[in-house]
A and B are shown apart, each in its own frame.
Chain A
Amino acid sequence: MAATTGQQPDLREAKGWRRTKSRIATVAMVVAFVLVVIPLVFVLITVVARGIGIISWQFLTASIPPQVVPADIGGIGPAIVGTLEIVGLATLMAVPLGILGAIYLNEYGGKGVLGRLIGFMADVMTGVPSIVMGLFVFSIWVLHFGFSGLAGAIALGCLMLPVVIRSTDEMLKLVPNPLREGSYALGATKSRVTMTVVLPAAVGGIVSGALLAVARAAGETAPLLFTILTVTTVNRNVFSGPNTSIPSQIFANAISPYTGAQDRAWGAALTLIVIAFVLMIASRIVTARFTRYSR
């Protein structure tokens, strides 16, 4: 790579129009990056500017008022409780199963036909639209057991599962084989080697990937629409009864004609983005401090 940066004597004859064209292309690439930064900065500034005045301790804890009420009364307390319950439960389901699935792919069947099929379909499953996951859980769960936080958690868990499998699989691949061989030489069984040598060696990357999956799940609205049935009251029982979440409340308020409801939507949007950013930064810190093997 270093040879291509042009540090050595310039023997090239590239001058005139050829060089100009190449320069134009380079400038176009930089412009493309700027084109992406503009909407990102625009969105973030808008959300912060319109949300920061709304957020207070009272906003984060108070109950959800009717949409006509102005923004200084009430808050999104039930939505925060709901998001914590549902995303927490989804994480408890998806992360262990995802890690186990990745162990199968990497330690047991990864090179066989079945292992390759599962790996490929996990990739494909990351592309299943979140609304389809909502319809799926509606037809297998909600129709039989009714709306509940659990139903929402199943839908989010299904979305997280392939993401966790893929990120964990990447991390397990980076664990050097001599570590495994050393433990086998001491007489350890395969499950013991996996649990006590391979997983601890990769734990930084696995946690980091799981945190990113949680950040994505916390922002999902579509799979919750028909599984938790957005309500405005606190439901501390995640296993039964309709529930609510931060993204669901934003969706409900975004189409409201009342400025109070819209203001609460901006406050909730800022809360959601802060949660996602905190998880993302946590993921980077874990990566930086606890990752032993990286690409």
Chain B
Amino acid sequence: MSTVTQQAGPATPAGPARPLSGRRPLGDRTFQVITLAAGLLVLVILVLIAFSTTQQAAPWFKAEGWGIFGTTWNPATNQFGALAFIYGTAITGVIALIMAVPVSVAIALLLTEVVPYRWARPIVYVIDLLAVVPSVVWGLWGILVFAPWIAKIYAHIGSAVTGIPVLDSLFGPPTSGASFFTAGIILAFMITPIVTSLSREVIATVPAIDKEGAYALGATRLEMIQGAVWPHSKGGIVGAVLLGLGRAMGETIAVALVIGSSATITSHLFAPGDSMPAVIANQFGEASGVFRAALMGLGVLLFAFTIIVNVIARAAVGRSVEQGSA
């Protein structure tokens, strides 16, 4: 298989066949140009996104300057500091990663190193089902079923940790079902499929000979994973985790429904907050002027953050997978 795909040379008509026909027919060249245009569309759209949203957000950048990173967001007094939303996006993303990453990597290891192939497929189907549940359904379930249920648990934890130094400021009251932590949990469910499938792709490229070598030296499965799989795939898994972070940062509707919509910066994880995509979804409809420009600007910041995260992540995953299959 791999030896066949390597021989790209003879498949190219522009090669040795050329002297026979002189030049390629017009239709053939037109087709190539059309496919090139379709490919370039990706780059054009990305550039247009950056350009058009930045243009729309310009009034905000001009009005606030570095004040865009201020702490006060109050449309009534025309104050649009975005720090509370950046904080909310970061904190919910971190909560989601802390919960989703160990679980995803464990499932990826289960699929690649433990279960036989015929069991791996149904497990992959189940994980894929998680990805098929639409964001808005997670949000609906989150706000009507999950948040009221977990609010009671928050209240118990909150009263239990009252007075204990660090825990009190993290998990103490005020508590609410719609909060940073609830949003983080829902995000963890949503990013698990992508982190799992990419980790699995990375781990699958670990050479069998490395693993067999570890076993031959008498390693247990865990020692084999630590000694052969982990050193080979940690770079790629970091990439998979970053991709999960990118997804979590951009997730809108589910978070908009369960985070509680309150522009506050607080260490209390069980308190309501807000995130960048959520505030755009909730407030863009009634916004105009600088207010709308500010929300558009949040979109620009979000776009910039996710592009940076995705470029780093894709480079890491790509390098890891290429290394493995080479």
Contacts and interface: CB of A to CB of B under 8 A. Distances in A.
Interface stretch (A57-65, A171-179, A200-208, A233-241): A171-179
Given A40-B129, A132-B49, A273 B137 contact: yes
Given A4-B211, A103-B35, A104-B35, A135 B252 contact: no
Given A104-B39, A272-B137, A189 B257 contact: no
B153 interface: no
B38 A100 contact: yes
Nearest to B208: A1
A32 B102 contact: yes
Interface string A16-49: 0011011001101111110111011011101100
Interface stretch (B10-18, B76-84, B169-177, B264-272): B10-18
Contact of A120 (B4, B53, B314): B314
B141 A222 contact: no
B43 interface: yes
A219 B318 contact: no
Contacts of B246: 127
A265 B133 CA distance: 15
Interface string A103-140: 11101110100110110111111011111110110011
A245 to B, nearest CB: 10
B165 interface: no
Contacts of A40: 126, 129-130, 133, 189
Nearest to A248: B136
B134 A272 contact: yes
B138 A215 contact: no
Tier of interface size on chain B:
35 or more
A130 B252 contact: yes
B45 A125 contact: yes
Contact of B8 (A28, A135, A177, A222): A177
A111 B4 contact: no
Given A130-B252, A189-B28, A215 B13 contact: no
A265 B143 CA distance: 12
B237 interface: no
A84 interface: no
B280 A100 contact: no
Contacts of A107: 35
A107 B302 CA distance: 35
Contacts, number: 293
Contacts of B167: none
Interface string A73-86: 00000000000000
Nearest to B247: A127
B164 interface: no
Given A29-B114, A191-B32, A221-B135, A22 B46 contact: no
Contacts of B225: 25
Contact of A255 (B143, B277, B309): B143
A219 B137 contact: yes
A46 B145 contact: yes
A114 B32 CA distance: 14
A272 B222 CA distance: 42
Which range holds the interface residue count of chain A? 35 or more
Contact of B35 (A44, A100, A124, A262): A100
Interface in B132-153: 132-141, 143-145
A35 B49 CA distance: 38
B93 to A, nearest CB: 12
B141 A129 contact: no
Q: Which of B46, B123, B128 has the most CB of A within 10 A?
A: B46
B160 interface: no
A32 B307 contact: no
A29 B111 CA distance: 9
B134 A247 contact: yes
A162 interface: yes
B42 A136 contact: no
A97 to B, nearest CB: 5
B31 A43 contact: no
Contact of A32 (B56, B103, B299): B103
Given A161-B41, A180-B11, A276-B132, A140 B52 contact: yes
Contacts of A139: 52-53, 55-56, 296
Contacts of A251: 136, 139, 253, 257
Nearest to B37: A100
Given A132-B49, A132-B299, A118 B35 contact: no
Interface string B239-252: 00001001101111
Contacts of B306: 127-129, 132
B133 A135 contact: no
Contacts of A129: 249-252, 277, 302-303, 306
B221 interface: yes
Interface of A: 1, 3-5, 12-14, 18-19, 21-22, 25-26, 28-33, 35-37, 39-40, 42-44, 46-47, 97-98, 100-101, 103-105, 107-109, 111, 114-115, 117-118, 120-125, 127-133, 135-136, 139-140, 143, 158, 161-162, 165, 173, 176-178, 180-181, 184, 189-192, 194-195, 215-216, 218-222, 225-226, 247, 250-251, 254-255, 262, 265-266, 269, 272-273, 276-277, 280
18 contacts: A14-B219, A18-B220, A25-B222, A33-B107, A35-B103, A107-B35, A109-B36, A118-B39, A123-B310, A123-B314, A130-B250, A136-B49, A140-B52, A165-B39, A189-B27, A219-B133, A222-B277, A247-B135
Given A46-B145, A123-B310, A266-B140, 11 more contacts: A4-B212, A26-B221, A35-B103, A125-B42, A128-B49, A132-B53, A184-B10, A189-B28, A192-B28, A219-B135, A250-B137
